[in-house]
Amino acid sequence: RREIRSGTLLWADQPPVRAAKEGRVLVLDGLEKAERNVLPTLNNLLENREMALQDGTFLTSPERFDALVDTGEAQAAHLIRVHQDFRVIALGLPVPAFPGFPLDPPLRSRFQARHVGSASLATQLTELRERFPDVP
């Protein structure tokens, strides 16, 4: 994104871009609340490891980047290599049981779904007493 500091225009990478470039884990919490215009871009980054950035550079998959770097085309095309260790974990609530937007099938197919239920109050109290026996 663009930022203006002291009258100078700077480009600052947002968390998804930094995670892709540096091989980090990107955690998307509340995916069901993501704006509709963000989802196709996110899906393209997940599926193809590609994303066009506002500064004119382009994130591309490690395989494609490595194939083009030897020919010199990667630098000429302003390509940036997506790190091979880049991973995404998405957290969300099922819709329509909760407020939010249903995920479109192409994006939803990029993830595995796991239902994590809540522990009962009795179970939580037992665990807390076991871990912290000195607390009244």
Question: What would the pLDDT profile of 17-74 be if each residue is shown by its tens digit?
Answer: 999 999 999 999 988 888 878 888 888 898 899 999 888 889 999 998 988 888 888 7
DSSP bridge pairs for 58: 52, 79
Please write the tens of the pLDDT for every residue from 99-128. Answer: 777 777 877 888 888 877 888 999 999 999
DSSP, res 52: E
- Count of C-beta atoms within a 10 Å radius of residue 126: 12
- Count of C-beta atoms within a 10 Å radius of residue 35: 7
- Count of C-beta atoms within a 10 Å radius of residue 79: 19
- Which residue shows structure tokens 């193809």? 48
